[in-house]
Amino acid sequence: MCGIVGYIGKRQASPILLDGLRRLEYRGYDSAGLALWSDGGINVFRKAGRIENLRKAVNEISPFGDLGISHTRWATHGAPTDENAHPHLDQSGKLALVHNGVIENYQILKDQLKQDGHEFHSETDTEVLAHLAGTFYDASDEADLKTRLVKSVQEALSRVKGTFGVAVMHADVPGVIVGARLGSPLVVGLGKDEQFLASDVAAIVAHTRDVIYLNDYDLVTLTRQGYEVASLDSQRTARVQVSKVDFTEDDAEKGAFEHFMLKEIYEQPQSIRNALRGRLNRDECTAVLGGLNMSPMELRQIDRIIFSGCGTAYHAAMVGEYLIESLARIPTEIEFASEFRYRNVPTDKNTLQFVVSQSGETIDTLAALREAKRKGLRCLGIVNNVASTIARESDGGVYIHAGPEIGVAATKTFTSQVAIMTLLSMLFGRIHHLSSTDGLEMIDELEAIPEKIESILKQAPLIKSIAEKYAHAEGMLFMGRQINYPVAMEGALKMKEISYIYASGHPSAELKHGIIALVKPELPSVFIAPDDAVYDKNVSNIEEVRARKGPVIAVTTEGTHDIERITDDVIYVPRCKSILSPLLTVIPLQLLSYYVALARGCDVDKPRNLAKSVTVE
């Protein structure tokens, strides 16, 4: 949640900060603000709403300043207002601070500060942190002002309970920005006589490809000439590694597409090719996943697998459960990452845990990883961000190589995650009992998937017309069976995320166990019913909906035209091996939700109340 951008150098800071915030707006768009150092003072601009509101306010004055920090907010404490927007100042008005995360003990600290005469102007926990840091700065007798600022930030953060990614500047300390993280990502960008600080590398990739991904408890001090990284924890040693960003500025732009979501839907043929590239071994009829850091003997000893994830990642993991149990016959379970650490899940030494997260920074999934490792489990990550916290803390894993995903509603990362699940199921299957013939058939089928997705994308005009037909429905039911039940869940999630239509996903057979009470002419049902072993069962469920005058949209396999007589609308997908059908059946649902949202006038890339990366609990 939320986005941070900081700059110190020789150029005007405000255009760099505003452009960085624009690139991070998917992380939060309730309000935005920036602080600039100029002529011995700090100028603060804060506006509720989108970043464009802030841009207009800044451009009216065109303030000078070559050092600044900025923030785009997803509200936790306090409503989206000018007063609650970051940056926040301390009591003296000289220290400015932006913050991602949650300070859990802020009310206790606030009450103490009020007793000492502090006045607060917002409802946020962040303003309390700014006042606390300012108090330590003012009380210090340290002669060196840079050291004084660093120590005041250290002291303040040692008093708080919660998570944070912060950037701090002080009017009396020109040429210095201090940043620190615990549970909320921060990355340092390195330039020539200029440095950058951001919560996501997408904000600064236009200016530098050389970055340092900070670890938890890292504290960084930035000057024009360079950086220093220390540890907030005296028991830890800060480890610094300069990395190269593996995508370009253009990768994080919409290009010719109206929305990032649509661009990312159309990128799926290539993103799946990227996920598969170099990982299919025809000679051995299996998948190659060296990043697992496990030998064939170690993999063979695994007799139970647990997947943990949230939202779309959870749905991808559900598909993975079907795949691994079908191809490898290994018992597999799915856990909501947000619940895992609060449960006492029985495990043994032959249990393998996977955590699934696009960003690799999802706070609940990171907590599940740490809980699994605390219990002595081998824990592997499936992530899109090579330098993420999950990637660094896991024992190994697989990168999905989908490229940056900016749209809040995940699309290409879902199919890429499912592609990785398929590779895992092939690998485990071949280690156990999957024949070389079946393994080679899976490779052939997988390699054909991208071209088949391209053929589905050509049906966008048809899907758009269906979406416009149902755009003002009061809700939608999504139903599927077996491996397409998770697809129904994912389709419902996409619909409610960006169109605000109430939608729910269910196993088709559960229809008669209560869900059918919702069926009526005003509530369409979407059935994922490919031509597989349970096709006839799905048809029977569709008949039950039609008997009660419920409209039906079907997603089915090319050639099954008999379904047209019992449905109102049909979207066809190419024929494929049934176990791979989720890679195809989800595409029409992504487009359907996109065009419904468009018809309803919703902001597709920035749906209300949502942000891309959930880094607060």
Q: Does residue 615 sit within a domain?
A: no
Q: Tell me which amino acid residue 429 is.
A: G
| Mean pLDDT of the 486-502 span | 97
Nearest to 199 by CA among 233, 228, 163, 246: 163
Which tens digit of pLDDT belongs to each residue from 120-143?
Answer: 999 999 999 999 999 999 999 999
Half-sphere exposure of 311 (CA within 13 A, CB side): 23
pTM to 2 decimals?
0.85
Average pLDDT, the chain: 93
Residue 224 CB burial class (10 angstroms; 0-12, 13-18, ≥19): middle
Q: Does residue 505 sit within a domain?
A: yes
pLDDT at 615 over 90: no
> What is the domain range of residue 510?
459-604
Active site residue 94: no
Same domain, 261 and 356: yes
- Which one is predicted more confidently, 2 or 120? 120
Q: Does residue 260 sit within a domain?
A: yes
Q: Tell me which amino acid residue 91 is.
A: Q
Same domain, 88 and 205: yes
Gap between the Cα atoms of 134 and 116, Å rounded: 13
Same domain, 16 and 137: yes
Q: Which pLDDT belongs to residue 144?
A: 94
Question: Do 397 and 357 contact (CB within 8 A), yes or no?
Answer: no
To which H or E segment does residue 220 belong? strand 218-223
Same domain, 152 and 290: no
Question: Which of 224, 246, 268 finishes a domain?
Answer: 246
Helix (H) and strand (E) counts in the chain: 18, 26
What are the C-alpha distances in Å from 341 to residues 178, 336, 365, 372, 409? 32, 10, 9, 8, 26
Which tens digit of pLDDT belongs to each residue from 515-548?
Answer: 999 999 999 999 999 999 999 999 999 999 999 9
Question: Which of 405, 425, 457 finishes a domain?
Answer: 457
Q: Does residue 616 sit within a domain?
A: no
Q: Is 111 left (phi over 0), alpha (psi -120 to 50) or beta?
A: alpha
Q: Does residue 612 sit within a domain?
A: no
Which tens digit of pLDDT belongs to each residue from 258-306?
Answer: 999 999 999 999 999 999 999 999 999 999 999 999 999 999 999 999 9
Which tens digit of pLDDT belongs to each residue from 453-477?
Answer: 999 999 999 999 999 999 999 999 9
Domain count, the chain: 3
Which tens digit of pLDDT belongs to each residue from 35-78?
Answer: 999 887 899 999 998 888 999 999 888 788 999 999 998 777 78
Catalytic: which of 2, 310, 379, 576?
Answer: 2
Same domain, 577 and 508: yes
Q: Is 461 left (phi over 0), alpha (psi -120 to 50) or beta?
A: alpha
Q: Which pLDDT belongs to residue 613?
A: 64
What CATH number is associated with residue 352?
3.40.50.10490
Q: Does residue 102 sit within a domain?
A: yes
Q: Which pLDDT belongs to residue 326?
A: 96
Question: Do 595 and 463 contact (CB within 8 A), yes or no?
Answer: yes
Q: Does residue 67 sit within a domain?
A: yes
Same domain, 108 and 83: yes
Q: Which pLDDT belongs to residue 611?
A: 67
Beta-carbon neighbour count of residue 174 at 10 Å? 17
pLDDT at 449 over 90: yes
Same domain, 509 and 400: no
Share of the chain above pLDDT 90, in %: 78
| Mean pLDDT of the 298-327 span | 96
What CATH number is associated with residue 36?
3.60.20.10
Catalytic: which of 94, 110, 263, 612?
Answer: 612
Question: Which of 246, 274, 293 finishes a domain?
Answer: 246
pLDDT at 180 over 80: yes
Q: Does residue 29 sit within a domain?
A: yes
Q: Reply yes or no: is the peptide bond before residue 87 cis, omega within 30 of 0.
A: yes
Same domain, 119 and 206: yes
Same domain, 453 and 478: no
Same domain, 118 and 15: yes
Active site residue 2: yes
**Residue given tokens 């393994």 in the structure block:** 439
Same domain, 383 and 515: no
Confidence grade of residue 617 (pLDDT, cut at 50, 70, 90): low
- Note the residue count of the chain: 617
Same domain, 386 and 476: no
